Amino acid sequence: MTDTNKAAPEPLLHIDNLGFSYGEKEILRGLDAQIGTGELVCIVGPSGAGKTTLLQCLSGLRPATSGAVRFRGRPIAGPPAEMAVVFQDYSHSLMPWLSALDNVALPLKSAGLGKKERQQRALEALEEVGLAGSEQKYPWQLSGGMQQRVAIARALAYRPAVIVMDEPFASVDAQTRADLEDLTLRVRQHLDITVLLVTHDIDEAVYLSDRVMVLAGKPTTVADMITVDLGRERDQIETKADPRFAGLRSQVYRLIRRPDAADAALAASGR
Amino acid sequence: MKPTRNPWARTGAGLAWHLWLPVLLVAGSLLLSQQFSSHYFPPLRTIAEQTWVIWFDGGGMAENLLPSLLRLLAGFCAAVVAGVLLGTLLGLMPRTEEALRPLTDSFRAIPGAALLPIALMFFGTGEAMKIVLIAFISMWPIMLNTIDGVRSVNPTLGQVMESFKLRPLDRFWHIYLPAAAPQVFAGARTALAIGVAVMVVVEMFGTPGGLGYFIRHAQENFQVVAMWTGMLVLGVFGYLLNALFRAFEKRILNWHHAMVAHTQGASS
Ligand SMILES: Nc1ncnc2c1ncn2[C@@H]1O[C@H](COP(=O)(O)OP(=O)(O)OP(=O)(O)O)[C@@H](O)[C@H]1O
Ligand SMILES: [Mg+2]
């Protein structure tokens, strides 16, 4: 492991034959994947497929029923300190009795940072997501999209090695959504953060990802891991106009729409 | 009711709303007590005069009101601390709470007065007995409400605490306590009323000093007027205490009232 270079990032997260059931109800079966340091992987799949459940297993919030998740080689037991989560249910993930600033700063307090430093970091993170000026507002005084951005700021300010986001841009307008997508790309680039992001939007998945994890089937399995070779520099207009973008987009779309086509796709691609 | 523009008029209306009953009662008893002279219901004028003489001129405040106040505060604060701590622990440990429920339920069901002989036996008639009994009896509504409040924390917030690795103390101060605060305050308001009642009773049976002691002592010595002044002071004491508590609650729960007003405003 001495000569690992940027071209072959050392896997940060191993998903080994992961299975999960809510009681009798089997949701996930035999998931395998490896996610490298600094990689951005989007997870797509039909509603109810178990994407949120998968993220909870990956972030140590739910123990797997079978198989294992390893983070830096060690099996996950409880949430790792180096991971931050942006929850799908954002309105309940913020404390209504704390201002936006204090919501972002509280985890930093627990991490042992001094008052000045955590205020500073929280302010920076809120500015980064475009909420400068709303620091003192309470979450319920903010729109859904703004609340969602507070939750994202909280994860950014935490400066994790891995950031796990569950449909983080679901309730923001198109322009803000594009801005936040580019922010995610920027943050990944500058801070070398590994990003796992669940989305319903296939365009978004292809636009953001290094690889797209497509979930399908019943119980859910990994239908495919699609490598998006569009380079690290992405542009909202140019990237989306690229013919390869359209090709990848329809590839993902087909996998989701016809889960049973996953095997056919595998056979066709000769792997 | 039409909204009143003038803030002075509004304050006046609010004050009138609060005071009409006391004023009516005072006026009524002034009139009535002049009609007939009963030894047991002395004229209000006499009571008022004697209240001044006994409580203000004669140092009754320092001798009997202050000890009551301090004692109540000590017992009530102990009840709040114990109720919130126990309530938080039991709220977070549902299995333990279930296992202890027969015990807590039966303790709660015992009327406070029944505990008096036991407390007298263990703690004597001094200060310890009084404060312990005030604290113990008024703790229950706070504890039970805290249990409910802590359980009302949303599961998503539970995951936030887990994934961001909040320290136990931060969870207590910044999550559980604020989440439970509206219920804790509701419980504490009940507890305060119970505390005043317990205070009067324990003072009647305990060592000298305090409103309860004063009232009982006056009654035993056939000082009927003095006894009534004690009742008057007790009434005003209770009223002011409650008003003070509400003002404090309003301050602390500012965010909550604003949020409720905001969400209601948005939905209507
Ligand atoms: N706590 C739970 N107990 C039992 N079943 C659950 C629980 N949470 C989710 N499920 C079920 O597990 C399945 C997967 O749920 P999950 O929330 O992981 O799906 P998802 O892919 O995130 O869906 P969406 O895209 O709508 O967010 C669903 O059928 C759901 O009803
Ligand atoms: Mg979900």
- Taking only the tens place, the pLDDT of each residue in A143-154 is 888 999 999 999
Q: Is the CB of A209 under 6 A from ligand 1?
A: no
| Residue B268: pLDDT over 70 | no
Instruction: Find the CATH number of the domain harbouring A66.
Output: 3.40.50.300
CA of A26 to the centre of ligand 1 (A): 11
Task: Answer yes or no: do A85 and B159 touch at CB < 8 A.
Answer: yes
Q: Which of A44, A47, A51 to mutate to test the pocket of ligand 1 (most atoms within 8 A of CB)?
A: A51
| Residue B43: pLDDT over 50 | yes
> For residue A76, what are the domain limits?
11-82+164-173+194-271
Tokens coding A79: 């949430």
A143 reaches B (C-beta below 8 A): no
Rounded to whole angstroms, the Cα distance separating B230 from B221 reads: 14
Q: How confident is the model at residue B10 (pLDDT cuts 50, 70, 90)?
A: confident
Q: How far is CA B126 from the centre of its chain?
A: 22
Q: What per-residue confidence (pLDDT) applies to B53?
A: 84
Q: Are A56 and A89 in contact, with CB atoms under 8 Å apart? A: no
**Rounded alpha-carbon distances, angstroms, from residue B182 to B142, B176, B186:** 11, 11, 6
Tell whether A258 is covered by a domain. yes
- β-bridge pairing A66-71 and A11-22: antiparallel
Tell whether A153 is covered by a domain. no
Task: Answer yes or no: do B162 and A78 touch at CB < 8 A.
Answer: yes
Q: Is the CB of A96 under 6 A from ligand 1?
A: no
Which atom of ligand 1 is the closest one to the Cα of A55? 18
Q: Is the CB of A48 under 6 A from ligand 1?
A: yes
A109 reaches B (C-beta below 8 A): yes
| Residue B239: pLDDT over 60 | yes
Q: What is the H or E stretch that residue A34 is in?
A: strand A25-36
Q: What per-residue confidence (pLDDT) applies to A4?
A: 41
A227 has which bridge partners? Answer: A211
CA angle centred on B190, ends B23 and B74, rounded to 5°: 100
Q: Are A202 and A249 in contact, with CB atoms under 8 Å apart? A: yes
Enumerate the residues of chain B whose CB falls inside 8 A of the CB of residue A89.
Answer: 156
Tokens coding A101: 């600033």
Q: What are phi and psi of A215, to 5 degrees?
A: -100, 135
Tell whether pTM > 0.90: no
Q: What are phi and psi of A5, to 5 degrees?
A: -120, 180
Q: Is the CB of A218 under 6 A from ligand 1?
A: no
B160 reaches A (C-beta below 8 A): yes
Nearest residue, CB atoms, B170 vs list A59, A83, A110: A110
Tell whether A94 is covered by a domain. no
Q: How confident is the model at residue B5 (pLDDT cuts 50, 70, 90)?
A: low
Look up the ipTM and state it: 0.85
**Whole-number mean pLDDT of chain B?**
86
CA of A49 to the centre of ligand 1 (A): 7
Tell whether A58 is covered by a domain. yes
What domains sit in chain B, N to C, each tagged with a CATH number?
A: 45-94+105-254 (1.10.3720.10)
Closest residue of B to A92, CA-based? B156
- Cβ neighbours, 10 Å, residue A48: 11
Q: What per-residue confidence (pLDDT) applies to B225?
A: 86
Q: What per-residue confidence (pLDDT) applies to A223?
A: 82
Please write the tens of the pLDDT for every residue from B64-121: 889 999 999 999 999 999 999 999 999 999 888 888 888 888 887 888 778 888 888 8
Q: Is the CB of A216 under 6 A from ligand 1?
A: no
**Protein residue with its CA nearest to atom 7 in ligand 1:** A22
Q: What is the DSSP string of A142-202?
A: S-HHHHHHHHHHHHHHT--SEEEEESTTTTS-HHHHHHHHHHHHHHHHHH--EEEEE-S-H
Q: Is A255 exposed, middle or buried (0-12, 13-18, 19+ CB in 10 A)?
A: buried
Q: In Å, how far is A83's CA from the nearest CA of chain B?
A: 7
Tell whether A267 is covered by a domain. yes
Task: Answer yes or no: do A97 and B154 touch at CB < 8 A.
Answer: no
Q: What per-residue confidence (pLDDT) applies to A99?
A: 94
Q: Quote the longest CA-to-CA distance of chain B.
A: 75
Q: What is the pLDDT along chain A (271 residues), one digit of tens a residue?
A: 444 444 454 688 999 999 999 988 988 898 999 998 889 999 999 888 899 999 999 999 999 999 989 998 888 888 999 999 999 988 899 999 999 999 999 999 999 999 999 999 999 999 988 899 999 999 999 988 899 999 999 999 999 999 999 998 888 888 888 888 998 898 888 888 999 999 989 999 999 999 999 998 888 888 888 888 888 888 888 888 888 888 888 888 888 876 554 555 455 554 4
Tell whether A93 is covered by a domain. no
Task: Answer yes or no: do B174 and A106 touch at CB < 8 A.
Answer: yes
Task: Answer yes or no: do B179 and A83 touch at CB < 8 A.
Answer: no
Closest residue of A to B162, CA-based? A79
Q: What per-residue confidence (pLDDT) applies to A222?
A: 85
Tell whether A24 is covered by a domain. yes
Q: Which residue has the tokens 């520099």?
A: A233
Q: How confident is the model at residue B36 (pLDDT cuts 50, 70, 90)?
A: low
Q: Is the CB of A50 under 6 A from ligand 1?
A: yes
Please write the tens of the pLDDT for every residue from A100-154: 999 999 999 999 999 999 999 999 999 988 899 999 999 999 988 899 999 999 9
Q: Which residue has the tokens 């035999």?
A: A30
Local structure of A226: helix, strand or coil: strand
Domain total in chain A:
1
Q: What per-residue confidence (pLDDT) applies to A267?
A: 52
CA of A48 to the centre of ligand 2 (A): 7
Please write the tens of the pLDDT for every residue from B174-226: 999 999 999 999 999 999 999 999 999 999 988 888 889 999 988 888 888 88
Q: Which 60-99 residues of chain A touch chain B by CB within 8 A?
A: 60-61, 78-79, 81, 83-85, 87, 89, 92-93, 95-98
- The angle that helices B177-205 and B66-92 make with each other, rounded to 10 degrees, is 140
Rounded to whole angstroms, the Cα distance separating A212 from A39 reads: 11
Average pLDDT estimate for B149-178: 94
Tell whether A262 is covered by a domain. yes
Q: Which residue has the tokens 């309105």?
A: A91
Task: Answer yes or no: do A84 and B164 touch at CB < 8 A.
Answer: yes
Enumerate the residues of chain B whose CB falls inside 8 A of the CB of residue A160.
Answer: none
Tokens coding B30: 């002034």
B267 reaches A (C-beta below 8 A): no
Rounded to whole angstroms, the Cα distance separating B87 from A58 reads: 33
Residue type, A56: Q
